[in-house]
Structure 1
Amino acid sequence: MASCPPSIRHRLDRLGVMLSALCAVHCVAGVVVVAVLGLGGGLLLAPEIHRYGLAAATLIAGLAIGLGTMRHRRRLPLLVATAGLSCMAVALFVGHGVEEAVLTVAGVFLVALGHLLNLRPA
């Protein structure tokens, strides 16, 4: 797997950054829409969305950052992304609200940063 073409890894890293951005927008927009308008709480804040998002983030980060770590031997992207995935996982266990939003947004920021660090040339 270490011989995987950089273009595949780069695409996965870019997908990871995009997924992180979409997750952050969903989280912030969900809290705002529910708090301000009182609409869509059942759909926007459904736990399934967060579990599926965490599963997708873990899979993409595992592949992209794992391949990158094997190729460039830098651990920082892996450590940063792991911290972000951990924040996202903890967010699943706190109630809906500010704590969940803060943990999720911090987590997706760290995962996106891990992907960006992974894209940097050695």
Structure 2
Amino acid sequence: MSNLLSPIRTRLDRAGVVLSGLCVLHCLASIVIVSALGIGGEFLLAPAIHRIGLAVALVIAAVAIGWGALTHRRAAPFVTAMTGLTFMGGALAMPHGAGEVVLTVIGVSLVSIGHFLNLRHAH
């Protein structure tokens, strides 16, 4: 049964990495577009986008990395990803700006590293 479910967990880890990259792209593009052009702030910087992104990241990380931790019994992917999710949650408490972007980028980077570690330990 575990061998049948392994591809699902692998896909979830890969989705987590892709979503982390999209999150960083969103953060950086939002700052550039809003700062340079002064447009799109009400959509690109909407708090709902950040809350939804954190919720999706939390679900994917909980399933993929939690499942991986139970399977391969290694704490590093879990601890790394949960630290990243903590940074992402902290970013939600910050006002829009450089501080929020820094916390978010650190957070999604750590979550992505957690997914990479999880993938590596799965083989």
TM range (shorter): over 0.9
Gaps of 5+ in 2: none
Whose helix fraction is larger, Structure 1's or Structure 2's? Answer: 2
- Give the superposition deviation at 1:5: 1.8
Per-residue deviation, residues 23-53 of structure 1 (Å, max 9, x unmatched): 0000010011111111100000000000000
Q: 1:39 corresponds to which residue?
A: 39
Matches within 5 A, 1:1-122: 3=2, 5-121=5-121
TM-score normalised according to structure 1 size? 0.96
- Distance in 2 separating the partners of 1:34 and 1:100: 15
TM-score under structure 2 length normalisation: 0.95
* % identity of equivalent residues: 55
Structure 1 segments of 4 or more deviating over 6 A? Answer: none
- Structure 1 gap segments, 5+ residues each: none
RMSD (Å), alpha carbons: 1.2
One-letter code aligned to 1:93: A
Aligned length: 121
* Residues 62-84 of structure 1: CA deviation (Å, up to 9, x unaligned): 00001100000000000000010
Query: In the TM superposition, what is the alpha-carbon distance from 1:121 to its structure 2 partner?
Result: 3.2
